Structure 1
Amino acid sequence: MNNRLHVLFRGSLTSCNYGCHYCPFALRRETVEEQRQDRAGLQAFVDWIKAQEHREWGILFTPWGEALVRSWYREAMVELSHLPHVSRVACQTNLSCSLKWLRNANRKALALWVSFHPTQCTLERFVNRIKRLTDDGIRLSVGAVGIREHFGLLEELRNALPSEIYFWINAHKSDGQSYTEDEVKFLKGLDPLVEWNLHRYPSLGEGCHAGETSFTVDGRGDMRRCHFIDSVVGNIADKGWEAALRERKCSNDTCGCHIGYVNLKKLGLSRTYGEGLLERIPVDRSPPPTPAVRKYLTRSKDS
């Protein structure tokens, strides 16, 4: 078994300080008790990781909402970044939190997956905050949802960022409307890898790293293969938790989210992202082999 494992932690936090119209957690606030439970679940996870010194770990926080406005998530990121057996600790964030805490982090291990929300933050403020991070040597990727009404702002943002920062686009699939050829061409100018994100991949019966070398943990310590298969396979408190990790075929019909399909073995995206897989920083920005993607989409199950 590979000595390095990836774990995606999603605690009980379900709140966000932003009010995006498409988000179910927009402007939601938690009770004091809900915050206590979330903090306790996170601390239990951190304590567990600290004890797993026989493994190399890559950790990604994927909260329902914004985690880094909570002090306990910032403290956890800093603590984990200094553990010798944690090679990467990353978090999905809107970057609305204080940035001072990052000075205490180990920059070799910490990284951020930053999302721009045009209706919630001005372009100027966002770019200035990104500059502060890059000046301080923080690893990061930057991106946004590819909503048509925001195309102009997204282009401005891409042009305002240093070319070495990878700018990703999440296709806006929820409205059920496919992009036109011209729109895809435009988005490729922003994100050369965007075509990977335009589809839902037939995944039933396909080999996947999820559940084998990557898994998720919730605030109760329950382990799942990925965020999109709800069956619990174990708990990190179990003495034999590693027995829950084994090669499995996907049990879902399709997979359409980056943090899901990036694990599909057939797509080979672990080679595209390399050491930057968790924070979505590719080592190779070459456009995807579109004919190969189409072949994958149209293949028969037994091919």
Structure 2
Amino acid sequence: MDLTILYRGPLASCDYDCPYCPFAKRRDSRAQLTADREALARFADWATARRDDRLSLLFTPWGEGLVRSWYRRTLAELSHQPHIDRVAIQTNLSCRTDWLADADPDTLALWCTYHPGQTPYDRFLAKCRDLAARGIRFSVGVVGLPEHLEHARRLRADLPAHVYLWVNAAEGHTYTDPEADAWTALDPLFPYSRHPHRSAGLPCRTGASVVSVDGDGTVRRCHFVRAELGNLYDGSYRDALRPRPCPLAVCDCHIGYVHLETLPLYDVFAGGVLERVPAALPTA
């Protein structure tokens, strides 16, 4: 079986306080951190043992995972498993990068977000250049708020030419055509993010070849549909895997709509769906 898993454990703490994020500067208790570490270890053990399956794994924590040693260690270890095609994580890149020396750069990848005002620009850029020097696959992006535009332009000019810069439409923000054009000049794929996608009744890979898993092993078709398909660890989810239409009216998050079969994004991001790296740099 070829299966893509989006894993989100209990971790909810982050070292940034972005005003557009509900989890900014949230602190997990020691008990919560212990529970997250144990849940991640259980998931990693399961993934390591699934040698008859081909797995692709994207970690999407509410908080920042890579400031925690157990995420760095787990990603590096999973990257060496021959039956795991990709292991990726969403990160603000505030962690150190020397741990990547222990990872397989052919398997591990990073989905990085730059948050202006949360970290010195030169520090973030230096880490991006270090990733490139190490041969790590990664994308870099920003939230498309008006006050971020000049930061994004500077970042695009300074990033290595082969690195894709993506732009997420800001939640609740309506873009005029001139505003959208300015963002599209930086990210030619921004039109996919600008408006939510109508998805009700449309075919989607989630629930068939893509699933979401939480720290308890509960399997759902995606992060945004709460109906349960079973549990990862007792295998009850496997009989529930099948093509099914989306039950929601719209899908407005990239980690959701990228799997819609009515969009061409599996071709656009061929080989880099999880880390948001397109097969070829898009042009406006």
Which TM class, normalised by the smaller chain length? over 0.9
CA distance in structure 2 between the aligned counterparts of 1:238 and 1:246, rounded to whole angstroms: 18
The equivalent position to 2:120 in structure 1, one of 122, 143, 160, is: 122
Q: State the partner residue of 2:40.
A: 42
Question: What is the TM-score of this pair, normalised by structure 2?
Answer: 0.97
Aligned to 2:68: 70
What is the Cα deviation at residue 263 of structure 1?
0.7
Structure 1: gaps (5+ residues): 289-303
What's the counterpart of residue 185 of structure 1?
A: 181
On the 8 A contact 2:132/2:160 being kept in 1, the answer is no
Distance in 2 between the 1:103 and 1:285 partners? 26
Corresponding pairs, count:
284
Counterparts of 1:136 and 1:127, CA distance in 2: 14
What amino acid is the match of 1:224?
A: R
CA distance, structure 2, for counterparts of residue 173 and residue 194 of structure 1: 14
CA distances 1:233-269 after superposition (whole Å, capped 9, x unpaired): 1111123432121111101011011001011101121
Q: Percent identity?
A: 45
The superposition leaves residues 66-95 of structure 1 with CA deviations (integer Å, 9 ceiling, x where unpaired) of 011011111110110000000100000000
Q: Report the RMSD for the aligned CA atoms in angstroms.
A: 1.2
Runs ≥4 residues deviating over 3 A: 284-288
- Give the Å deviation of 1:170: 0.2
- Give the AA of the match of 2:66: L
Equivalent position of 1:159 in the other structure: 157
Of 214, 218, 222, 2:214 maps to 218
Alignment of 1:120-269 (within 5 A): 120-174=118-172, 177-269=173-265
What is the match of residue 105 of structure 2?
Answer: 107
The 8 Å contact of residues 206 and 249 in structure 1, kept in 2 or not, is answered as yes
The residue matched to 1:274 in structure 2 has which SS? coil
Residue 13 (structure 1) shift: 0.3
- The answer to whether the 8 A contact 1:58-1:88 is kept is yes
Instruction: Mark the runs of 5 or more structure 2 residues left unpaired by the alignment.
Output: none
Q: 1:130 Cα shift?
A: 0.5
Of residues 17, 20, 24, the one that matches 2:22 is 24
Using the alignment, how far apart are the partners of 2:54 and 2:22 within structure 1? 35
C-alpha separation in 2, matches of 1:256 and 1:115:
18
1:182-201 deviation per Cα after TM superposition (whole angstroms, max 9, x unaligned): 21111111101110101111
What amino acid is aligned across from residue 190 of structure 2 in structure 1? V
Partner of 1:270: 266
Taking the aligned partners of 2:235 and 2:180, their CA distance within structure 1 comes to: 49
Contact 1:221 1:237 survives alignment (8 Å): yes
